[in-house]
Amino acid sequence: MDRNAILSSLMSSFKTFSSSDPRQTVEKVLKYSGRDDEIIARADIKREVAVFRFLSGTTMLSINDEKPSELEQTLEVMLFVEQGDSHSIKEARYDRMFELSDQLIDWATQTDAYSINSDMYTLSLEAVGDTREREGYFSATLNFTIIIKIQ
């Protein structure tokens, strides 16, 4: 099990889903391990971005196992959409934030985890955070849980 490869597989799967979806394709998909307040300062974030990062993981051990066989991994996807200058542009970008959130939810519910990576058993949506207005950006966070095969 290579967590970095799994994270890359998740990102690639979402990019593919986004490009085949009738809604507009997400502009950029990144992985990141820092704090969310540092993400806005990154130079490669343009108008909109989906940032994938792993949070905590818990091993799952059955009674008769000598070693854990599965890892329950929390995945956070942060969406950032740049605000516009005028009210109508801000409103359109706010709507785009909801569209991207819906696209992520559809991806998680319509995509088989094993098709993303053969070491994944499940991918499930756990929570959708509030859409927030930040300095120059709208942001939202979606949390997923993944069961990953260890052995």
- Full-model pTM: 0.85
Contacts 24+ apart (CB under 8 A), 53-59: 53/7, 53/78, 54/3, 54/7, 55/143, 59/150
Q: How many domains are there within the chain?
A: 1
Q: How large is the C-alpha radius of gyration of the chain?
A: 16
In the predicted model, what is the mean pLDDT of the chain? 85
> Domain holding 60: CATH number?
3.30.70.1700
DSSP string for 74-87: EEEEEEEEE--SSH
| Residue 103 to residue 24: CA distance in whole angstroms | 10
Give the residue, 140 or 26, on which the prediction is more confident. 140
Taken in order 9, 103, 80, 124, the sign of the CA dihedral is negative
The domain in which residue 85 lies consists of 3-149
pLDDT of residue 134: 80
Q: How many residues does the chain have?
A: 151
pLDDT of residue 44: 56
Q: Quick: pLDDT tens for 78-136.
A: 998 888 778 888 888 889 899 999 999 999 999 999 999 999 999 999 999 998 888 78
133 Cβ contact partners less than 8 Å away, ≥ 6 residues apart: 83
